[in-house]
Structure 1
Amino acid sequence: MPKHIKNLLTHKLTILAILITISIATVSLIKLGKAPVKINHLDKFEHAFAYFILTTIWLRALKTTKISNYFIVFCCFFYGIIIEVLQTTVTTHRSGEFWDVVANSMGILIAFIIYNSFFKKNKAI
């Protein structure tokens, strides 16, 4: 693939990663209505999925930089903790939970494992 197309794709992935980061913060801090159907622990799967996507996109967006994958994973983990703390401290309608941090971490860990076992082996992707 020509270099200028790869650079453009990487730039768009960075913008997408920033938008996903902002979206997670927004959804995590705004007041949401009650779910019409209550499914036990569904929110933990939502947390894991959101942080899986967040981590995967950041890993892909920063693939060609010198930034360590471990640093990206750490930043996603730290971001999740910050969001949980903000839910407790700056909102009156949300509360940070330890199990949300665990769910976030599981999504991050799964993304890191899949990225390292799939994307790193396939340099063309």
Structure 2
Amino acid sequence: MLRRIKNLLKDKLLLIAIVITIVVLGLSLIKMPETGVTVANIDKVYHSFAYFTLTIVWLLSFYKTPQKKHLVTLSCIFFGIIIEVLQTVLTNYRTGDILDVFANSLGSLLALFVFSMIFKKKQIN
């Protein structure tokens, strides 16, 4: 079963990574509806999750070149910084936030850690 999933995704990981990047960009720049329910700083969890997902998919798309994993992670962090700047410059309903940059970076670094642990374990076996 896992082999079938791997074969299915093998040639599509780059496309999936591009689509997720576009989705993160879009969600970061559109006006989000008000839900009426507020939880303090829950958006930081969303940011971390989004950038964990973004980074892990990009890392998986470059899994054959693991020496690029730090470059991929730094690129995702830089992408998050650019988006925070774009929120301030392009929109009047979103604002860039340094805490969002930290949450994005935390998600990306966590993805790097998880990716490294998975492939470290795989290399041992």
Q: Distance in 2 between matches of 1:67 and 1:58?
A: 13
CA drift of 1:9 comes to 2.6
Q: Distance in 2 between matches of 1:120 and 1:20?
A: 26
> What does 1:1-125 correspond to in 2, within 5 Å?
6=7, 9-65=9-65, 68-122=68-122
TM-score, scaled relative to structure 1? 0.88
Secondary structure in structure 2 of the residue aligned to 1:122:
helix
Aligned residues: CA RMSD: 1.9
Aligned residue-pair number: 120
Going by fraction, where is helix more abundant, 1 or 2?
2
TM-score, scaled relative to structure 2? 0.88
Q: Distance in 2 between matches of 1:31 and 1:118?
A: 37
Q: Distance in 1 between matches of 2:120 and 2:17?
A: 19
Q: Distance in 1 between matches of 2:116 and 2:67?
A: 15
Post-superposition CA distance 1:51-101 (Å, at most 9, x none): 000000000011124761111001000000000000000111100000000
Residue segments in structure 1 that go unaligned for 5+ positions in a row = none
Q: Report the identity percentage.
A: 43
Moved over 4 A (4+): none
Residue segments in structure 2 that go unaligned for 5+ positions in a row = none
Letter in 1 for 2:48: A
Change (3 A) 1:67 1:10: farther
